[in-house]
Structure 1
Amino acid sequence: MSKVLWKPGTMVYPAPSVMVSCGTMEAPNIITIAWTGTICTDPAMTYISVRKERYSYPLIKESGKFIINLTTKPLVKAADFCGVKSGRDFDKFEHCGLTPIEGPLTGLPMIAESPVNIECEVSQIIELGSHDMFLAKVLGITIEDSYIDSTGKFRLDLAELISYAHGTYYELGNPLGTFGYSIMKKKTQKKEAKQKEKISIKLRRQYV
Protein backbone atom coordinates (compact mmCIF):
# COMPACT_ATOMS: atom_id res chain seq x y z
CA MET A 1 0.00 0.00 0.00
CA SER A 2 1.41 3.40 -0.98
CA LYS A 3 0.45 6.90 0.14
CA VAL A 4 0.61 10.32 -1.53
CA LEU A 5 1.08 13.47 0.56
CA TRP A 6 -1.22 16.37 -0.35
CA LYS A 7 -1.20 19.94 0.87
CA PRO A 8 -3.58 20.88 3.73
CA GLY A 9 -7.22 20.97 2.69
CA THR A 10 -10.79 20.15 3.65
CA MET A 11 -10.95 16.38 3.25
CA VAL A 12 -13.02 15.27 6.24
CA TYR A 13 -15.79 13.65 4.23
CA PRO A 14 -18.62 12.84 4.02
CA ALA A 15 -20.03 16.03 5.51
CA PRO A 16 -23.63 16.92 6.24
CA SER A 17 -25.33 19.18 3.73
CA VAL A 18 -27.84 21.23 5.71
CA MET A 19 -30.06 24.16 4.81
CA VAL A 20 -29.64 26.95 7.35
CA SER A 21 -32.56 29.38 7.47
CA CYS A 22 -32.23 32.91 8.77
CA GLY A 23 -33.66 36.39 8.29
CA THR A 24 -37.27 37.09 9.23
CA MET A 25 -40.67 35.67 8.36
CA GLU A 26 -41.18 38.73 6.15
CA ALA A 27 -37.78 38.36 4.46
CA PRO A 28 -36.63 34.75 4.90
CA ASN A 29 -33.41 33.33 3.53
CA ILE A 30 -31.62 30.00 3.24
CA ILE A 31 -27.92 29.19 2.97
CA THR A 32 -26.65 25.67 2.36
CA ILE A 33 -23.83 24.70 4.72
CA ALA A 34 -21.48 21.72 4.80
CA TRP A 35 -19.24 22.94 7.61
CA THR A 36 -21.45 22.07 10.56
CA GLY A 37 -21.69 19.49 13.30
CA THR A 38 -22.18 18.66 16.97
CA ILE A 39 -19.61 20.06 19.41
CA CYS A 40 -21.19 19.34 22.81
CA THR A 41 -24.06 17.30 24.22
CA ASP A 42 -24.59 18.99 27.59
CA PRO A 43 -25.40 21.73 26.94
CA ALA A 44 -26.40 20.79 23.41
CA MET A 45 -24.25 22.88 21.06
CA THR A 46 -23.51 23.02 17.36
CA TYR A 47 -21.74 25.29 14.88
CA ILE A 48 -21.83 26.54 11.33
CA SER A 49 -18.97 28.16 9.43
CA VAL A 50 -19.89 30.94 7.01
CA ARG A 51 -17.90 33.22 4.71
CA LYS A 52 -18.18 36.90 5.61
CA GLU A 53 -19.22 37.85 2.08
CA ARG A 54 -22.28 35.60 2.10
CA TYR A 55 -25.64 37.37 2.25
CA SER A 56 -26.65 35.27 5.25
CA TYR A 57 -23.61 36.25 7.34
CA PRO A 58 -24.89 39.63 8.61
CA LEU A 59 -28.42 38.24 8.98
CA ILE A 60 -27.16 35.58 11.38
CA LYS A 61 -24.72 37.91 13.13
CA GLU A 62 -27.32 40.63 13.74
CA SER A 63 -30.11 38.35 14.94
CA GLY A 64 -27.81 36.00 16.85
CA LYS A 65 -29.95 33.07 15.75
CA PHE A 66 -30.30 30.54 12.94
CA ILE A 67 -32.08 27.27 12.20
CA ILE A 68 -30.42 24.13 10.86
CA ASN A 69 -32.81 22.18 8.62
CA LEU A 70 -31.72 18.64 7.78
CA THR A 71 -31.73 17.93 4.05
CA THR A 72 -33.33 14.93 2.36
CA LYS A 73 -33.26 13.38 -1.10
CA PRO A 74 -36.37 15.34 -2.25
CA LEU A 75 -34.68 18.56 -1.04
CA VAL A 76 -31.28 18.05 -2.67
CA LYS A 77 -31.96 20.25 -5.71
CA ALA A 78 -33.19 23.07 -3.48
CA ALA A 79 -30.15 22.61 -1.24
CA ASP A 80 -27.83 22.94 -4.21
CA PHE A 81 -29.63 26.06 -5.46
CA CYS A 82 -29.49 27.67 -2.03
CA GLY A 83 -25.77 27.01 -1.92
CA VAL A 84 -24.87 28.58 -5.27
CA LYS A 85 -27.36 31.45 -5.52
CA SER A 86 -27.49 34.53 -3.30
CA GLY A 87 -30.46 35.66 -1.26
CA ARG A 88 -29.71 39.17 -2.51
CA ASP A 89 -31.21 38.15 -5.85
CA PHE A 90 -33.84 35.52 -4.98
CA ASP A 91 -36.48 34.68 -2.45
CA LYS A 92 -35.12 31.16 -2.09
CA PHE A 93 -38.19 29.83 -0.29
CA GLU A 94 -40.45 30.97 -3.11
CA HIS A 95 -38.11 29.97 -5.91
CA CYS A 96 -37.60 26.45 -4.52
CA GLY A 97 -41.23 25.93 -3.56
CA LEU A 98 -40.42 25.63 0.13
CA THR A 99 -42.71 26.58 2.99
CA PRO A 100 -41.45 28.94 5.71
CA ILE A 101 -43.01 28.31 9.11
CA GLU A 102 -42.17 30.26 12.23
CA GLY A 103 -39.80 28.62 14.66
CA PRO A 104 -41.50 28.47 18.08
CA LEU A 105 -38.33 29.45 19.96
CA THR A 106 -36.57 31.89 17.64
CA GLY A 107 -39.35 33.37 15.51
CA LEU A 108 -37.15 32.67 12.49
CA PRO A 109 -38.39 30.91 9.35
CA MET A 110 -37.78 27.18 9.28
CA ILE A 111 -38.35 24.80 6.37
CA ALA A 112 -41.59 22.86 6.74
CA GLU A 113 -40.43 20.20 4.26
CA SER A 114 -37.39 19.30 6.38
CA PRO A 115 -37.89 16.40 8.83
CA VAL A 116 -35.75 18.07 11.52
CA ASN A 117 -35.45 21.78 12.35
CA ILE A 118 -32.82 22.74 14.93
CA GLU A 119 -33.25 26.22 16.43
CA CYS A 120 -29.97 27.74 17.54
CA GLU A 121 -28.73 30.80 19.41
CA VAL A 122 -25.23 32.10 18.70
CA SER A 123 -22.98 32.14 21.75
CA GLN A 124 -19.69 33.07 20.10
CA ILE A 125 -18.25 34.01 16.71
CA ILE A 126 -14.70 32.88 16.00
CA GLU A 127 -12.83 34.43 13.09
CA LEU A 128 -10.85 31.68 11.39
CA GLY A 129 -9.83 32.88 7.93
CA SER A 130 -11.96 32.11 4.88
CA HIS A 131 -14.87 31.34 7.23
CA ASP A 132 -16.09 32.53 10.60
CA MET A 133 -17.44 29.92 12.97
CA PHE A 134 -20.77 30.59 14.71
CA LEU A 135 -20.81 28.53 17.91
CA ALA A 136 -24.38 28.11 19.08
CA LYS A 137 -26.58 26.61 21.75
CA VAL A 138 -29.41 24.37 20.58
CA LEU A 139 -32.61 25.90 21.90
CA GLY A 140 -34.91 23.15 20.70
CA ILE A 141 -35.70 20.73 17.90
CA THR A 142 -38.88 20.36 15.86
CA ILE A 143 -39.42 17.00 14.15
CA GLU A 144 -41.86 15.63 11.59
CA ASP A 145 -44.22 13.41 13.56
CA SER A 146 -44.96 11.08 10.64
CA TYR A 147 -41.52 9.53 11.22
CA ILE A 148 -42.38 8.51 14.79
CA ASP A 149 -43.27 4.81 14.88
CA SER A 150 -45.67 2.98 17.20
CA THR A 151 -42.93 2.46 19.77
CA GLY A 152 -42.29 6.20 20.00
CA LYS A 153 -38.95 5.98 18.19
CA PHE A 154 -38.05 8.68 15.69
CA ARG A 155 -37.19 6.81 12.47
CA LEU A 156 -34.77 9.30 10.97
CA ASP A 157 -33.33 6.44 8.91
CA LEU A 158 -36.46 6.59 6.72
CA ALA A 159 -36.08 10.29 5.91
CA GLU A 160 -33.66 9.78 2.98
CA LEU A 161 -31.00 12.07 4.39
CA ILE A 162 -28.14 13.17 2.16
CA SER A 163 -24.45 13.89 2.66
CA TYR A 164 -21.82 15.81 0.73
CA ALA A 165 -18.38 14.57 -0.29
CA HIS A 166 -15.81 16.37 -2.44
CA GLY A 167 -18.31 18.28 -4.58
CA THR A 168 -21.01 15.60 -4.85
CA TYR A 169 -24.24 14.92 -2.96
CA TYR A 170 -24.99 11.37 -1.84
CA GLU A 171 -28.03 9.64 -0.43
CA LEU A 172 -27.19 7.76 2.76
CA GLY A 173 -27.07 4.02 2.07
CA ASN A 174 -27.57 0.77 3.94
CA PRO A 175 -26.78 0.77 7.67
CA LEU A 176 -23.68 -1.19 8.62
CA GLY A 177 -24.32 -1.43 12.34
CA THR A 178 -25.67 0.42 15.35
CA PHE A 179 -23.65 2.10 18.09
CA GLY A 180 -21.95 -0.57 20.19
CA TYR A 181 -22.72 -3.43 17.79
CA SER A 182 -19.07 -4.52 17.79
CA ILE A 183 -19.40 -5.75 21.37
CA MET A 184 -23.06 -6.80 21.26
CA LYS A 185 -23.94 -10.46 21.83
CA LYS A 186 -25.09 -12.29 18.69
CA LYS A 187 -28.38 -13.23 20.31
CA THR A 188 -29.12 -9.55 21.01
CA GLN A 189 -28.08 -8.59 17.46
CA LYS A 190 -30.53 -11.07 15.96
CA LYS A 191 -33.33 -9.90 18.25
CA GLU A 192 -32.76 -6.23 17.34
CA ALA A 193 -32.56 -7.05 13.63
CA LYS A 194 -35.94 -8.79 13.74
CA GLN A 195 -37.53 -5.89 15.62
CA LYS A 196 -36.16 -3.35 13.13
CA GLU A 197 -37.38 -5.39 10.17
CA LYS A 198 -40.91 -5.58 11.63
CA ILE A 199 -40.94 -1.81 12.19
CA SER A 200 -39.57 -1.10 8.71
CA ILE A 201 -42.21 -3.29 7.03
CA LYS A 202 -44.98 -1.60 9.01
CA LEU A 203 -43.73 1.89 8.17
CA ARG A 204 -43.21 1.09 4.49
CA ARG A 205 -46.86 0.01 4.31
CA GLN A 206 -47.85 3.19 6.12
CA TYR A 207 -46.06 5.45 3.60
CA VAL A 208 -47.16 3.59 0.44
Structure 2
Amino acid sequence: MSKIQWRPGNMVYPVPAALVSCGADPSEWNLVTVAWTGTACSDPPMTYISLKPSRHSFDLVLRTGEFVLNLTTADMARATDFCGVRSGRDLDKWEATGLTPLPATHVKAPLVAESPMNIECRVTQVLPLGSHHMFLAEVLAVHVDDRFLDGNGKFHLDKADPICYSHGQYHPLGKSLGKFGWSVEKKKKRKK
Protein backbone atom coordinates (compact mmCIF):
# COMPACT_ATOMS: atom_id res chain seq x y z
CA MET A 1 0.00 0.00 0.00
CA SER A 2 1.29 3.46 -0.82
CA LYS A 3 0.17 6.74 0.66
CA ILE A 4 0.12 10.11 -1.04
CA GLN A 5 0.21 13.52 0.57
CA TRP A 6 -3.24 15.03 0.38
CA ARG A 7 -4.58 18.57 0.61
CA PRO A 8 -4.45 19.79 4.25
CA GLY A 9 -8.09 20.98 4.13
CA ASN A 10 -9.30 17.39 3.64
CA MET A 11 -8.69 16.01 7.10
CA VAL A 12 -11.26 14.24 9.24
CA TYR A 13 -14.28 12.98 7.32
CA PRO A 14 -17.17 12.28 7.50
CA VAL A 15 -18.53 15.16 9.56
CA PRO A 16 -22.03 15.95 10.80
CA ALA A 17 -24.39 17.80 8.51
CA ALA A 18 -26.14 19.98 11.07
CA LEU A 19 -28.45 22.96 10.91
CA VAL A 20 -27.76 25.92 13.15
CA SER A 21 -30.68 28.19 13.95
CA CYS A 22 -29.89 31.67 15.18
CA GLY A 23 -31.29 35.16 15.68
CA ALA A 24 -32.93 37.04 18.54
CA ASP A 25 -36.45 37.36 17.15
CA PRO A 26 -38.62 35.98 14.33
CA SER A 27 -37.82 38.90 12.02
CA GLU A 28 -34.16 37.80 11.85
CA TRP A 29 -34.26 34.06 12.55
CA ASN A 30 -31.99 32.21 10.19
CA LEU A 31 -30.70 28.73 9.41
CA VAL A 32 -27.20 27.81 8.28
CA THR A 33 -25.73 24.40 7.53
CA VAL A 34 -22.51 23.56 9.33
CA ALA A 35 -20.19 20.60 9.10
CA TRP A 36 -17.51 21.90 11.47
CA THR A 37 -19.18 20.96 14.76
CA GLY A 38 -18.97 18.39 17.49
CA THR A 39 -18.62 17.71 21.20
CA ALA A 40 -15.89 19.78 22.84
CA CYS A 41 -16.34 18.62 26.46
CA SER A 42 -18.70 16.34 28.38
CA ASP A 43 -18.47 17.94 31.85
CA PRO A 44 -19.50 20.69 31.57
CA PRO A 45 -21.30 19.85 28.34
CA MET A 46 -19.88 22.00 25.56
CA THR A 47 -19.99 22.01 21.79
CA TYR A 48 -18.75 24.23 19.00
CA ILE A 49 -19.53 25.43 15.52
CA SER A 50 -17.15 27.07 13.07
CA LEU A 51 -18.43 29.71 10.67
CA LYS A 52 -16.86 31.90 8.01
CA PRO A 53 -17.18 35.63 8.85
CA SER A 54 -18.76 36.16 5.41
CA ARG A 55 -21.82 34.07 6.37
CA HIS A 56 -24.99 35.95 7.32
CA SER A 57 -25.40 33.78 10.42
CA PHE A 58 -21.89 34.67 11.64
CA ASP A 59 -22.98 38.18 12.66
CA LEU A 60 -26.21 36.87 14.24
CA VAL A 61 -24.36 34.35 16.42
CA LEU A 62 -21.62 36.86 17.26
CA ARG A 63 -24.16 39.53 18.29
CA THR A 64 -26.58 37.32 20.23
CA GLY A 65 -24.02 34.92 21.68
CA GLU A 66 -26.35 31.97 21.24
CA PHE A 67 -27.58 29.39 18.73
CA VAL A 68 -29.34 26.04 18.46
CA LEU A 69 -27.54 23.07 16.94
CA ASN A 70 -30.10 20.85 15.17
CA LEU A 71 -29.25 17.33 14.01
CA THR A 72 -30.46 16.42 10.52
CA THR A 73 -31.99 13.35 8.90
CA ALA A 74 -32.31 11.88 5.42
CA ASP A 75 -35.78 13.46 5.22
CA MET A 76 -34.16 16.85 5.90
CA ALA A 77 -31.30 16.43 3.39
CA ARG A 78 -32.71 18.79 0.74
CA ALA A 79 -33.42 21.52 3.31
CA THR A 80 -30.00 20.97 4.89
CA ASP A 81 -28.25 21.45 1.56
CA PHE A 82 -30.42 24.46 0.66
CA CYS A 83 -29.55 26.22 3.93
CA GLY A 84 -25.86 25.75 3.16
CA VAL A 85 -25.91 27.24 -0.32
CA ARG A 86 -28.48 30.05 -0.02
CA SER A 87 -28.07 33.14 2.13
CA GLY A 88 -30.51 34.40 4.74
CA ARG A 89 -29.64 37.89 3.52
CA ASP A 90 -31.66 37.13 0.38
CA LEU A 91 -34.60 35.06 1.60
CA ASP A 92 -36.42 33.51 4.53
CA LYS A 93 -34.97 29.99 4.72
CA TRP A 94 -37.72 28.81 7.07
CA GLU A 95 -40.35 29.65 4.48
CA ALA A 96 -38.24 28.39 1.55
CA THR A 97 -37.57 24.98 3.14
CA GLY A 98 -40.86 24.46 4.95
CA LEU A 99 -39.02 23.79 8.22
CA THR A 100 -40.87 24.70 11.40
CA PRO A 101 -39.45 26.95 14.14
CA LEU A 102 -40.32 26.04 17.74
CA PRO A 103 -39.63 28.12 20.86
CA ALA A 104 -36.48 27.20 22.75
CA THR A 105 -36.38 27.18 26.55
CA HIS A 106 -33.07 28.99 27.21
CA VAL A 107 -32.18 30.96 24.07
CA LYS A 108 -34.04 33.25 21.70
CA ALA A 109 -33.09 31.28 18.58
CA PRO A 110 -35.72 28.66 17.64
CA LEU A 111 -35.50 24.88 17.53
CA VAL A 112 -36.13 23.08 14.22
CA ALA A 113 -39.25 20.95 14.83
CA GLU A 114 -38.28 18.35 12.21
CA SER A 115 -34.89 17.70 13.84
CA PRO A 116 -34.57 14.57 16.03
CA MET A 117 -32.35 16.48 18.48
CA ASN A 118 -31.94 20.18 19.23
CA ILE A 119 -29.11 21.52 21.38
CA GLU A 120 -29.49 25.01 22.87
CA CYS A 121 -26.13 26.75 23.19
CA ARG A 122 -24.62 29.91 24.69
CA VAL A 123 -21.29 31.07 23.27
CA THR A 124 -18.47 31.24 25.83
CA GLN A 125 -15.57 32.02 23.53
CA VAL A 126 -14.94 32.99 19.91
CA LEU A 127 -11.65 31.80 18.45
CA PRO A 128 -10.56 33.35 15.12
CA LEU A 129 -8.76 30.48 13.38
CA GLY A 130 -8.29 31.67 9.80
CA SER A 131 -11.00 30.98 7.22
CA HIS A 132 -13.42 30.19 10.08
CA HIS A 133 -14.07 31.41 13.60
CA MET A 134 -14.90 28.75 16.19
CA PHE A 135 -17.79 29.52 18.53
CA LEU A 136 -17.19 27.44 21.66
CA ALA A 137 -20.48 27.08 23.50
CA GLU A 138 -22.00 25.81 26.72
CA VAL A 139 -24.91 23.40 26.22
CA LEU A 140 -27.94 24.80 28.05
CA ALA A 141 -30.58 22.24 27.06
CA VAL A 142 -31.07 19.24 24.79
CA HIS A 143 -34.45 18.40 23.26
CA VAL A 144 -35.09 14.95 21.78
CA ASP A 145 -38.00 13.73 19.67
CA ASP A 146 -39.52 11.01 21.87
CA ARG A 147 -40.03 8.78 18.82
CA PHE A 148 -36.31 8.00 19.03
CA LEU A 149 -36.16 7.21 22.75
CA ASP A 150 -36.57 3.74 24.20
CA GLY A 151 -38.19 2.87 27.55
CA ASN A 152 -34.89 3.57 29.34
CA GLY A 153 -34.54 7.05 27.84
CA LYS A 154 -31.75 6.01 25.44
CA PHE A 155 -31.63 7.95 22.18
CA HIS A 156 -31.49 5.67 19.13
CA LEU A 157 -29.67 7.70 16.50
CA ASP A 158 -30.01 4.92 13.92
CA LYS A 159 -33.81 5.21 14.00
CA ALA A 160 -33.56 8.94 13.27
CA ASP A 161 -31.79 8.21 9.94
CA PRO A 162 -29.12 10.92 10.38
CA ILE A 163 -26.92 12.21 7.60
CA CYS A 164 -23.28 13.21 7.45
CA TYR A 165 -21.15 15.09 4.93
CA SER A 166 -17.96 13.96 3.20
CA HIS A 167 -16.11 15.67 0.36
CA GLY A 168 -19.12 17.40 -1.18
CA GLN A 169 -21.61 14.56 -0.68
CA TYR A 170 -24.31 13.81 1.91
CA HIS A 171 -24.45 10.24 3.21
CA PRO A 172 -26.75 8.30 5.51
CA LEU A 173 -25.13 6.64 8.49
CA GLY A 174 -25.04 2.86 8.43
CA LYS A 175 -26.01 0.24 10.95
CA SER A 176 -24.37 -0.01 14.36
CA LEU A 177 -21.22 -2.14 14.53
CA GLY A 178 -21.20 -2.49 18.31
CA LYS A 179 -21.58 -0.55 21.52
CA PHE A 180 -18.75 1.15 23.42
CA GLY A 181 -16.57 -1.52 25.00
CA TRP A 182 -17.90 -4.45 22.96
CA SER A 183 -14.41 -5.33 21.77
CA VAL A 184 -13.31 -6.27 25.29
CA GLU A 185 -16.63 -7.42 26.70
CA LYS A 186 -16.64 -10.89 28.22
CA LYS A 187 -18.87 -13.33 26.42
CA LYS A 188 -21.63 -14.89 28.47
CA LYS A 189 -21.28 -18.60 29.00
CA ARG A 190 -23.92 -20.65 27.23
CA LYS A 191 -25.97 -23.04 29.31
CA LYS A 192 -25.84 -26.65 28.19
Q: TM-score range by the shorter chain?
A: over 0.9
Q: Matches of residues 30-179 of structure 1 in structure 2 within 5 Å?
A: 30-179=31-180
Deviation at 1:152, TM superposition (A): 3.0
Aligned to 2:58, the other structure's residue is in SS state helix
Aligned partner of 2:169: which letter? T
Residues 1:42 and 1:162: Cα distance change in structure 2 (over 3 Å)? same
Q: Distance in 1 between matches of 2:8 and 2:142?
A: 35
* Matches of 2:9 and 2:22, distance apart in 1: 28
Deviation of 1:186 (Å): 2.4
CA deviations over 1:51-96 (Å, ceiling 9, x no partner): 0010001100000000000000000100000000000111111110
Query: Following TM superposition, by how much is the alpha carbon of 1:149 offset from its aligned partner in structure 2, in angstroms?
Result: 2.1
For 2:183, what is the secondary structure of its paired residue?
A: helix
Verify the 8 A CA contact 1:25 1:102 in the aligned structure 2. Answer: no
One-letter identity of the residue aligned with 2:106: L
In structure 1, C-alpha distance between the alignment counterparts of 2:151 and 2:39, rounded to whole Å: 28
How many angstroms apart in 1 are the aligned matches of 2:128 and 2:148? 38
Which residue identity lines up with residue 161 of structure 2 in the other structure? E
Supply the RMSD in Å over aligned alpha carbons: 1.4
Identity rate of aligned residues, in percent?
Answer: 53
Q: Deviations over 1:12-64 (max 9, x none)?
A: 10100100000123331000000001111111111100000100011000000
CA offset digits 1:166-203 (Å, max 9, x no partner): 11000001111111010012229x9xxxxxxxxxxxxx
Displacement of 1:11 in angstroms is: 2.1
Q: TM-score, normalised by structure 2?
A: 0.94
4+ residue segments displaced more than 6 Å: none
Secondary structure at the residue paired with 1:94? helix
State the one-letter code of the partner of 1:138.
V
- TM-score, normalised to structure 1's length? 0.87
For this pair of structures, how many residues does the alignment match? Answer: 189
Structure 1 match to 2:5: 5
The alignment partner of 1:187 has SS state of coil
Task: For 1:4 and 1:152, locate their aligned partners in 2 and report how far apart those are by CA, in whole Å.
Answer: 45
1:66, 1:108 within 8 Å by CA — same for their partners in 2? Answer: yes
Amino acid corresponding to residue 73 of structure 2 in structure 1:
T
* Amino acid aligned to 1:108: A
